[in-house]
Amino acid sequence: NKMKKEGGANGCLLNLFEMREEDVNYFLDAPLNTLKALQDFWHSHPDTCMRISSADILQFAIYFATVRQSGTPGLNDSKVDHLKYNFEWGRPDERDCDTVWVENLPENRMEGAFGGPITTRCLAAGREIREKLMDRNGFSAEEAVALIGAHTIGMTRNIFGDAHKGVWIPSGADDATPNGPEFNNDFHVYFFEEVPATKTYNFAVDPVPFSDVFPNWFREEEEEENFLDTDIVLAFPSQDESV
């Protein structure tokens, strides 16, 4: 939260176990345990010349994943050099972590909008992005849209239950290529090519291409694709100039 000068890339997710128990993080045990093991191995290696913070290793993991999966998924010499020479190390770990900081992340169960009219849900989702990603975290509108576009990779695994788990975009599935998912801009392209409505009130009348409308998300059953309200709102101009 830039207004309170708290949170950020500070290592708390790896260093404070209670942070893992929060609803937005509880499914991250496996990757966090792997990163902790890598960090311990690094520090115990006889050739290690510096210590790395938990803040750094978390950010490097994200950077590594996006570089590895961009273009043709997998590693090559060019990507390895990019990782070696472009990542900046030196983030300090926060010594006084607080689980309340997860409230600075966008929720997808906005108060007063859950299960309400689609237009109300979209307005609430836009406010959520503005107030949390932009006002609190300091991202520009362009940066916030790009950050949400990370949904171009991966899938919903737990939040909607096993019966409804699915990808956002097919190219982002774990098995999309022999080397895993593709990190691209297909998530954003989807809204141009697959959502014919250009206004929320048109979408509310006919939410094509989605076959199922849930209280705070949408599903295209044939392709097993899921989109949150905070995803869908990117397809439409704001109803509120302050958002």
| pLDDT number for residue 112 | 74
| pLDDT tens, position by position, 206-222 | 999 999 999 999 999 88
Least confident of 2-16, 44-58, 120-134, 141-155: 2-16
| pLDDT tens, position by position, 118-171 | 999 999 999 999 999 999 889 999 999 999 999 999 887 766 777 777 888 999
| pLDDT number for residue 239 | 61
| pLDDT number for residue 23 | 84
Please state, for a pLDDT cut of 70, what percent of the chain lies above it: 97
| pLDDT tens, position by position, 82-126 | 999 999 999 999 999 999 988 888 876 777 788 899 999 999 999
| pLDDT number for residue 241 | 61
| pLDDT number for residue 1 | 76
Distance of alpha carbon 10 from alpha carbon 30, whole angstroms: 20
Please determine, for residue 243, whether its predicted confidence score (pLDDT) is greater than 60: no
170, with CB counted inside 10 A (0-12, 13-18, 19+), is middle
Please determine, for residue 177, whether its predicted confidence score (pLDDT) is greater than 90: yes
Please determine, for residue 193, whether its predicted confidence score (pLDDT) is greater than 80: yes
| pLDDT number for residue 106 | 82
